[in-house]
Chain A
């Protein structure tokens, strides 16, 4: 059973460009979460999605960041007009439906903004 998949693993963008990060949850999982790990800082929650719904986006920056989890295909975290402070590791996690609170993480996408 494949785990959570993220791509690309490494992404380099110049300031002002857009970054798109993709996450495919584990088979049978319908809940997706995005976390950010800034250099020398802990993991911080960004957003929680189910298919076609944003459930909790309390950790998302108010501007430039958006997330979706369409009916078909992977979840996407989009960062518009990237700045140097967006350089971080972005992790996606997934969990099964219903009452399970266990979250399983992918390998992450390391975004570098030059």
Chain B
């Protein structure tokens, strides 16, 4: 079983839609949960970072963590064409080596 499972997509939505991106994980030692956005041929950009179960909101982005189900989500409200990118979930134990999902490619159609 892979340590992190993430649907590769592509996920295509119309502009203004609510987007839901998800990852499941199997490592109970994961304590910190992150979402990165990566545009084509660019470096990953940190979007959200949390270490507890529950919701964290930042503008149009909401990160949700359910440790009991080993499931994390990223919601994007009012999606824009500029949100078209690959979204990577990432996890940390007490060490500092990030474990990444394989990424979900999102396309927001104008």
State the total of A-B contacts with C-beta under 8 angstroms. Answer: 57
* Pairs across A and B, CB under 8 Å, 24 listed: A33-B96, A33-B98, A42-B100, A42-B102, A43-B98, A44-B100, A45-B97, A48-B96, A56-B95, A56-B97, A59-B97, A101-B92, A101-B96, A102-B46, A102-B49, A103-B98, A105-B36, A105-B43, A105-B44, A105-B46, A106-B43, A107-B42, A108-B41, A108-B43
A43/B88 contact (C-beta < 8 A), A56-B96, A59-B97, A101-B32 known: yes
What number of A residues sit within 8 Å (CB to CB) of B? Answer: 26
Q: Which residue of B lies closest to A95 (CB)?
A: B96
Residues on A with C-beta less than 8 A from B45 are 105
What number of B residues sit within 8 Å (CB to CB) of A? Answer: 22
Is A65's beta carbon under 8 Å from chain B?
Answer: no
**A residues lining the B interface (CB < 8 Å):** 4, 31, 33, 35, 41-45, 48, 55-56, 58-59, 91, 93, 95, 101-108, 110
Contact of A31 among B44, B96, B102 (CB under 8 A): B96
Contact of A42 among B41, B43, B96, B103 (CB under 8 A): B103
